[in-house]
């Protein structure tokens, strides 16, 4: 099944070979017009760091429930969301009725306390919440998020090449990109559980780019554009990357935001550590010029991260997510 999902080798790019982007661009274009997912290999992220991040996710969720509830999910989309704490409605693929069978914790970029956005209380710019009794957890989460951000920013010029843009076209829009690190725990579901009892119901991500570390425990499946659901293949030493709704809107529907879902009937606990990367807080996502033609006029007015996320999370949103808010990471 790996045949369905293109594999991009990053070695030439990371080695600085001059024609690397020219060669990767068409591969990415094919991935995002035919599948919506691609693998990357030779990405330069140490396997030990990935292992550590998975272990940190397991340690976090092994804490007593009270410790996790002490850092409740908030209006910045930061903190802990308990089991069955949300139901996929927005971006839902089929009529989803049951809450998601996972618990998750969300972290964003650390901003200095005197950062203007912190001082003015801008949404999605608040402080991370950290567990009080997990030595080393914060360091690992930040190291992993840092490695993912570096990797994500290396990938962005490939998107420009794929879209027929100058290779630095996105550069001033990804100077300090928004991101979310999500650490999810999917308890094992009984083999007899109903079909529609999802670990994570079918959805499209909100992100520009989602980077997902390979999971030793299966459970993720992907809906190809022809409607077939395939199990995500686990290729050693790779990351699986997909695009979300922001990429789809920004590219005026040229690129796919492919639905996917999780069920964990493996008999083991499953953890996942997706990293969702978006553009800068202030960047304006106006339809990419090469994606606008007389036959495909702009489908959306220009928008920002904040506008998109406010709309996505529901306008009337207090300190807690409104009941039924869908939450797929970023």
Ligand X SMILES: O=C(O)CCC(=O)C(=O)O
* Strand-pair category, 260-262 with 200-203: antiparallel
With CB cut-offs between 5 and 8 Å by kind, which of Fe ion, ligand X, none does residue 50 bind? none
Shortest distance, position 274 Cβ to ligand X, whole Å: 4
Determine which helix (DSSP H) or strand (DSSP E) holds 34, and give its type and residue range. helix 20-34
Q: Is residue 149 part of the contact set for Fe ion (CB under 5 A)?
A: no
Q: Which span sits near Fe ion by CB under 5 A: 104-112, 121-129, 201-209, 316-324?
A: 201-209
Nearest to 10 by CA among 25, 22, 20: 20
Indicate the residue among 35 and 160 with the shorter CB distance to ligand X: 35
Of the candidate spans 18-26, 61-69, 197-205, 313-321, the one that interacts with Fe ion by CB under 5 A turns out to be 197-205
Cβ distance to ligand X smaller for residue 200 or 285: 200
Residue 194 in tokens: 């109903």
* Binding partner selected for residue 243 from ligand X, Fe ion, none, CB under the kind-specific 5 to 8 Å limit: none
> Which residue, 29 or 261, has its beta carbon nearer to ligand X?
261
What is the DSSP annotation of 187-235? PPPPTTS-TT--SEEEE---SSEEEEE--SS--EEEE-TTS-EEEPP--
For ligand X, the closer of residues 24 and 200 by Cβ is 200
CB of 244 to Fe ion, least distance (A): 8
CA nearest 285: which of 309, 251, 256, 253? 251
Could you say whether residue 205 binds Fe ion (CB under 5 A)?
yes
Distance CA 205, CA 220 (A): 14
Q: To which H or E segment does residue 276 belong?
A: strand 275-277
- Alpha carbons 61 and 313: distance in angstroms, whole number: 25
Give 215 or 252: the residue with its C-beta nearer to ligand X.
Answer: 215
Q: How far is the CB of 293 from ligand X (least distance, A)?
A: 31
Residue keyed to tokens 């590219």: 251
185 has which bridge partners?
103, 271
CB-wise, 39 or 169, nearer to ligand X? 39
Cα separation, 116 vs 135, in Å, equals: 30
Least gap, CB of 217 to ligand X (angstroms): 9
Interface with ligand X by CB under 6 A: which residues? Answer: 182, 184, 200, 205, 212, 215, 220, 260, 262, 272, 274, 328-329
Q: What are phi and psi of 284, to 5 degrees?
A: -100, 125
Contact between 278 and Fe ion (CB under 5 A)?
A: no
Q: Which lies closer to ligand X via its Cβ, residue 129 or residue 206?
A: 206
Report what 91 binds from Fe ion, ligand X, none; CB cut-off 5-8 Å by kind. none
Residue ranges binding Fe ion (CB under 5 A): 205, 328
């Amino acid at each position: 099944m790996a045949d369905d999902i293109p594999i991009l080798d990053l070695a030439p790019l990371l080695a600085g070979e001059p024609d690397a982007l020219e060669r990767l661009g068409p591969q990415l274009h094919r991935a995002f017009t035919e599948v919506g997912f691609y693998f990357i290999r030779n990405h330069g992220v140490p396997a030990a760091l990935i292992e550590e991040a998975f272990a940190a996710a397991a340690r976090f969720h092994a804490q007593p429930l009270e410790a996790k509830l002490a850092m409740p999910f908030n209006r910045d989309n930061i903190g802990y969301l308990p089991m069955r704490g949300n139901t996929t409605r927005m971006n839902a693929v089929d009529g989803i009725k049951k809450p998601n069978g996972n618990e998750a914790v969300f972290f964003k970029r650390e901003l200095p306390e005197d950062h203007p956005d912190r001082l003015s209380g801008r949404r999605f710019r608040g402080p991370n919440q950290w567990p009080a009794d997990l030595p080393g957890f914060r360091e690992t989460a930040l190291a992993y998020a840092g490695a993912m951000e570096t990797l994500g920013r290396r990938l962005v010029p490939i998107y420009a090449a794929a879209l027929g843009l100058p290779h630095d076209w996105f550069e001033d829009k990804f100077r300090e990109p928004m991101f979310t690190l999500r650490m999810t725990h999917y308890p094992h579901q009984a083999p007899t559980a109903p079909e529609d009892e999802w670990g994570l119901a079918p959805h499209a991500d909100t992100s520009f780019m989602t980077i997902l570390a390979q999971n030793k425990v299966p459970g993720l499946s992907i809906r190809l554009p022809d409607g077939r659901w395939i199990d995500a293949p686990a290729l050693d030493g790779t990351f699986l990357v997909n695009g979300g709704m922001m990429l789809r809107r920004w590219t005026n529907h040229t690129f796919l935001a492919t639905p996917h879902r999780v069920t964990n009937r493996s008999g083991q606990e499953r953890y996942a550590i997706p990293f969702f990367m978006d553009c800068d807080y202030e960047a304006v996502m106006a339809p990419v010029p090469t994606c606008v033609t007389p036959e495909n006029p702009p489908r959306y007015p220009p928008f920002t991260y904040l506008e998109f996320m406010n709309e996505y999370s529901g306008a009337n949103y207090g300190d807690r997510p409104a009941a039924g808010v869908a939450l797929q990471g970023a």
